[in-house]
Amino acid sequence: MRYPEYRGRRLRGSAAMRDLVRETRLHTDDFMYPVFAIGGINKKEAIEGMPGVFRMSCDLLAVETKRLFDLGIKAFMVFGIPDHKDSHGSSAWEKDGIVQRAVQAMKHAAPEAVICTDVCLCQYTDHGHCGLLTREGKIMNDPTLEILSKVALSHVEAGADMVAPSDMMDGRIASLRSTLDECSYVETPIMAYSAKFASAFYGPFRNAADSAPKAGDRKTYQMDPANGMETLRELEADYREGADILMVKPALSYLDIIRTAGDRFDVPIAAYNVSGEYAMIKAAAEKGWLEEERAALEMLTSIKRAGAKLIISYYAPDVALWLNR
């Protein structure tokens, strides 16, 4: 007896049938929304290259947090844009620094929300690098670790639920973990930006955060986009040092890394759908070259399909509107 040729087409005939067998489904629970805090009151500034995203003063940020929380976006990543910078980024760990104030305001407005902070120095240093520099302009790894620990601790003391170091110094997860543990914050998780590539897709973010390096680039501490094996070693190191979540960043050009990380490590994998990935779709949609909703949801679905449990995306508010419709 001959079997009919298998065409694999029978489960795609109707919308209800397609829904029944869909493997990957986006949910607002999957998302974390990055926000940019600035000083002052009632301030809202547009960001070049990121339509729909604004730098906001803490009062407005609090209102926005509550609004989005009610729409189903329950997690936030806070970036601060400080009023002053210096060579060692001292405004990053002030008790009433910009991130510390933003965290307090956001937690007050939405106590149930997960408020995570980006721990890095590049917005706070006058040279724009993620760590301390020697006079010759070289990154100093170990002295930077001490400062990052101070920054993370000040965020947690202000009420942050999780810290996410994005600096890419070696040993920072162990160093942050021991600082937090010594200060009795044993329950506070660390999300490590483990596989952070030296990417062209951070362009709009550096405008938003005013954090482009004044000289040189980040290639001595961020990963070479060509290197997969080396990236696994970075993930492994952060895992061993005690990271609770491992992040791959950017997402779209690194879906293979997300997949491998998800297969290899028994902690949740996060993916950062970065500013340039957002800008590409926004710009093409503005020109009428792409259908924004379809393109954005397809991109985000691919990130989840690749194995990300958590997606950090500027599209989170739009996703909430689209999925709640």
**Catalytic residue ranges:** 196, 249
Closest CA to 116 of 155, 144, 80: 155
Q: Which is nearer to ligand PBG, 213 or 242 (CB)?
A: 213
C-beta of 118: minimal distance to ligand PBG in Å? Answer: 5
Our finding on whether 274 is near ligand PBG (CB under 6 A) is yes
Contacts with 16 (C-beta within 8 Å, 6 or more apart), sequence order: none
Task: Check: CB of residue 154 under 8 Å from CB of residue 167.
Answer: no
The answer to the question of residue 125 lying near ligand PBG (CB under 6 A) is no
Site string for ligand PBG, 205-234 (x = CB under 6 A): xx----------------------------
> 75 has which bridge partners?
32, 114
Amino acid at 154: S
Of the pair 66, 88, the CB lying nearest ligand PBG is at 88
Q: Which is nearer to ligand PBG, 65 or 222 (CB)?
A: 222
Question: Closer to ligand PBG at the Cβ: 115 or 274?
Answer: 274
User: How many residues contact ligand PBG, by CB under 6 A?
Assistant: 10
d(CA 185, CA 110): 21
Please tell me the distance from the alpha carbon of residue 318 to that of residue 70, in angstroms, as a whole number.
Answer: 14
Chain centroid, CA 39 distance in Å: 22
Residue number of the CB atom closest to ligand PBG: 205
Asked if residue 37 binds ligand PBG (CB under 6 A), the reply is: no
Nearer to ligand PBG, 68 or 168 (CB): 168
251 binds ligand PBG (CB under 6 A): no
Q: How many CB atoms lie within 10 A of CB 323?
A: 16
- Does the footprint of ligand PBG cover residue 120 (CB under 6 A)? yes
Interatomic CA distance for residues 118 and 283, integer angstroms: 26
- Beta pairing class for 132-133 and 139-140: antiparallel
User: Using the rule CB under 6 A, is 202 a contact of ligand PBG?
Assistant: yes
- In the complex, the residues that contact ligand PBG under the rule CB under 6 A are 118, 120, 122, 130, 166, 202, 205-206, 274-275
